[in-house]
Amino acid sequence: ILLKEVDPANLQPRAPIVVVMGHVDHGKTKLLDCIRDTDIVSREAGGITQHIGAYQVEKNNRKITFLDTPGHEAFTAMRARGARVTDIAVLVVAADEGVKPQTVEAIQHAQEANVPIIVAINKIDKEAAQPDRVKGELGEFGLVPEEWGGKTIMVPVSAMTGQGIAHLLEMILLTADMENLRANPNREAVATVIEANLSQNLGPVATVIINTGTLRVMDNFVVGSTYGRIKVMKDQTGHAVESAGPSIPVLIAGIPVTPQSGDILHAMPSEQIARQQAVSVMLLKEADIIKKRGIGEIISQISSGQLKQLKLVLKADTKGSLEALKQSISQIKNESVGVKIILSGVGNITESDVMMAAAGGGIVMGFNTTIYSNVKKLSERENVEVLNYNIIYNLLDDIKKILTGLLEPEIIENILGRAELKKVFLTEKKEMIIGCKVISGHVENKTKVRVFRNGQLTGEGVINSLKSFDKAAHDVNEG
């Protein structure tokens, strides 16, 4: 919504933003390094290229922005936060190894996000390279090269010798032209946080890529539920810059707390408006966190007709059981709702699976899989339902129940009220005494509470005793 432009006449072409994905050791990092090294622009500028999370190179007098963190994990994590920054995915497949499990995963992540894929068939300098075999293998996943009558651009390259890299960049530009990527440089900036950390002398710093508009030093902004003012802005060569337009990555300082990748930064006309905006974002976020809880929301959206498709991440212990499950799921018939498997694979449920479901608003189902505690924790934080089964029938039955609304949500939430935390009087291991002001509804003794800070859920608990002034109370009303 933020990127919407009323008058298309204001739009100007912008550089494509590219992510590199593929199986481990197929040469993603090497490719990114090789592309950066071919670029003379930043070297001529006299700076030393800094790793700020993204960089731009020039080809045929046009710019291309690359995200410097390869892999689909970072890409999908950003998407799960609502960011839509990537225009094109370059899928790196080693010509000597061919399609591997993470290649397939990367394809599914890009396809689910509707991001066009260009295949870079890498390591063609190697004797064992078989580019045609790679092309054949990719066909199974809907990627057919143009020369075989398909639509996918496939470029043989070597990140080692640099062979084919120039052609790959040209193909990226060609794809960008077909996508008609545009933005309005003459408006307040909207940017996406690519990476962020705490700098010793600048405080929290973040690399952002401008989605639209122009970001300037001294601009007020909101990012997530905090606000600030751009104090310092640096480009990829480490030079200070005054402004940055669409698709340009810059490092900024002036943020009160370290944001997360995928957070959206929005320039504001004044500090006051930025502050107001930050507060309303915080309230929206709290509401959203509560609403998004668990499978209940998906079921109620299906029941009310808002959701027409159940998105499913499916993992199984063996290829055989996975194929059997896919087959059975494809036969589940429901008049109004379909099932779409957005990611499937053999193996345990991973954090990446959970993020995929989070980004797509779906659920994760495993057959004979193990759910490790880090995955469980992540699923709780992202409000993604992760279910495991040992009997195929039960898995299929649950899908049917979800589609027909028969799987009742286990928990129905009833929000009683909200209070603002004013003071912490005592902190013990399992208990705190806090002073609050009730700002809406009422607060009731022995009920459950969630604590939010800056729109982020920071704790949960139960009210053990409630007092108004020094009198014990059953409930306390607004004000």
Closer residue to ligand GDP (CB): 159 or 357: 159
Closer residue to ligand GDP (CB): 19 or 222: 19
Euclidean distance between CA atoms 119 and 121, whole angstroms: 6
Q: Does 24 bind ligand GDP (CB under 6 A)?
A: yes
One residue of 56, 102, 158, 184 binding ligand GDP per CB under 6 A: 158
The label of the residue with tokens 């007020």 reads 220
Region of 118-126, 168-176, 309-317, 465-473 interacting with ligand GDP (CB under 6 A):
118-126
Residue type, 276: Q
Structure tokens at 465: 């005793």
Residue 24 neighbours by CB distance under 10 Å = 11
Burial of residue 111 (CB within 10 Å: 0-12, 13-18, 19+) is middle
One residue of 14, 15, 26, 211 binding ligand GDP per CB under 6 A: 26
Burial of residue 369 (CB within 10 Å: 0-12, 13-18, 19+) is buried
Q: How many Å separate Cα 181 from the centre of its chain?
A: 20
Q: Does 27 bind ligand GDP (CB under 6 A)?
A: yes
Closer residue to ligand GDP (CB): 154 or 395: 154
User: In whole angstroms, how close is the CB of 85 to ligand GDP at the nearest point?
Assistant: 20
User: In whole angstroms, how close is the CB of 264 to ligand GDP at the nearest point?
Assistant: 28
Structure tokens at 322: 């996975």
User: In whole angstroms, how close is the CB of 36 to ligand GDP at the nearest point?
Assistant: 12
Tell me the C-alpha to C-alpha distance, in Å, between residue 16 and each of 57, 304, 377.
11, 38, 35
Q: Does 100 bind ligand GDP (CB under 6 A)?
A: no
186, 192, 197, 203 alpha-carbon torsion, rounded to 10°: 30
Euclidean distance between CA atoms 191 and 265, whole angstroms: 5
One residue of 64, 89, 159, 403 binding ligand GDP per CB under 6 A: 159
Q: Does 160 bind ligand GDP (CB under 6 A)?
A: yes
For residues 47 and 237, is the Cβ–Cβ distance under 8 A? Answer: yes
Q: Which residue is nearest to ligand GDP (CB)?
A: 27
User: In whole angstroms, how close is the CB of 400 to ligand GDP at the nearest point?
Assistant: 40
Structure tokens at 51: 């790793």
For residues 82 and 262, is the Cβ–Cβ distance under 8 A? Answer: yes
Backbone region of residue 215 per phi and psi (left: phi > 0; alpha: psi in -120 to 50; beta: other values) = beta
User: In whole angstroms, how close is the CB of 225 to ligand GDP at the nearest point?
Assistant: 35
Q: Does 456 bind ligand GDP (CB under 6 A)?
A: no
Region of 25-33, 181-189, 424-432, 450-458 interacting with ligand GDP (CB under 6 A):
25-33
Q: Does 25 bind ligand GDP (CB under 6 A)?
A: yes
- Residue 337, classed as helix, strand or coil, is coil
User: In whole angstroms, how close is the CB of 96 to ligand GDP at the nearest point?
Assistant: 8
Closer residue to ligand GDP (CB): 21 or 322: 21
Region of 120-128, 185-193, 263-271, 443-451 interacting with ligand GDP (CB under 6 A):
120-128
Q: Does 122 bind ligand GDP (CB under 6 A)?
A: yes
Closer residue to ligand GDP (CB): 34 or 208: 34
Tell me the C-alpha to C-alpha distance, in Å, between residue 236 and each of 50, 146, 186, 380.
6, 35, 22, 36
Q: Does 10 bind ligand GDP (CB under 6 A)?
A: no
Closer residue to ligand GDP (CB): 29 or 321: 29
Q: Is the dihedral of CA 61, 65, 71, 76 positive or negative?
A: negative
Q: What are phi and psi of 193, to 5 degrees?
A: -75, 125
Tell me the C-alpha to C-alpha distance, in Å, between residue 1 and each of 4, 84, 367, 376, 422.
5, 11, 38, 32, 35
DSSP code for 126: S
Q: Does 123 bind ligand GDP (CB under 6 A)?
A: yes
Region of 72-80, 102-110, 153-161, 227-235 interacting with ligand GDP (CB under 6 A):
153-161
One residue of 16, 70, 131, 362 binding ligand GDP per CB under 6 A: 70
Binding site for ligand GDP (CB under 6 A): 22, 24-30, 70, 122-123, 125-126, 158-160
